[in-house]
Each structure stands twice: as C-alpha cells, then as structure tokens.
Amino acid sequence: MKYFLSLGSNVRNKKENLRRALFLLKKEGAKILRASSLYKTQPVDFYCQPWFLNQVVEIEADCSPHALLDLIKQIEEKMKRQPTVQNGPRRIDIDILLAEKTIIQTKKLIIPHPRMEIRNFVLVPLMEIAPEIMHPLLKEKIRDLWKKSQDCSIVKRIQQTTDYEWENSSKDKRQDY
C-alpha cells in the first residue's frame, strides 16, 4: 500500500533526525517513492518552542495502516521521542497523512490525518510532491486545499531533497538512538 507521511523535528539536529527516521523506515522494509524538500516551519498552536524542520514522503509498505502506525511508534521510541505538552517540542514526529483512498476513524488511528487540510506545514511539502492527490473525505486536490487554507504560519523551503540523499540514507553509521 502507498502512504504519505509527514515528518517533523524541532529538537537537536533536526535534519539528522529526519534522515534517521527515513533510514529506520527503509530498514523496516518501507520503500521511499518520493520526498519533498525540507521546510523550516513556524510552530502552530504552541508557539514558545524552536521552529520545525518538516518533510513529506510517499512510501510503499507491505503492511496495513495499523501495522504502519505501530512501526512509526517504534521508530519514534527508538529515536527517544519524549512526551511533552501537546504540540510541543519533539525530536521526531511521524504522522500518516494518507493511505491511498483508505478512510479509517478509530480511537487509535484516523486517516486521512485530521487537520491536515488546514496545516501549511503539511500542505506545502505534500503539494510539492503530490499536488493532484485527492483528499478522500473532502474530495478536493491537495493543491486546492492549500489555496483555500487560512493558515498564516510561515513555511519556507530551505533545502531541496535529492534522490541521492534519501536513497543513500541507509549508509548509517550511528547506533546511539
């Protein structure tokens, strides 16, 4: 199944945290199909914290959305994500945005991700790699959702991600996570 994931970090080496998360996803069998540029983004809801580095990736994984969520939680734990205040600082945050046309609404998992259509830190990188993808509930393209977004938070592209960067993220030497 194909998925779109949002990755974010605003603690320590943010770029390394995103790269490490991609490495761990690949190590567990996820195939990275597309990756957005890296974006520096203004915090939303909880403003007194460092700015984030965000990215959206499209992956293919031979697992259910619930199994992918379990894998994501394991990766966040392995990377020592510490619980803080809601929407507070974090070393890594990985969210499932979309799972093809799947709609899931359980206590544990909601797909499409709630509020993705009103969050520029999700819409801008997603629009970069998949502007024509339809939101399965709203029946609108990502490009159109971004145009309608009233989110005024700053989202600035800081580095275009090359295929080389994420294809070769498996050359990981660090074992201290």
Active-site positions read: 81, 90, 93, 95
DSSP string, 25-88: HHHTTPEEEEEPPEEEE---S--SSPPEEEEEEEEE-SS-HHHHHHHHHHHHHHTT----STT-
Cis peptide before 112 (omega within 30 of 0): yes
E strands, the chain, in order: 2-9, 31-35, 38-41, 52-60, 93-99, 104-105, 110-111, 155-159
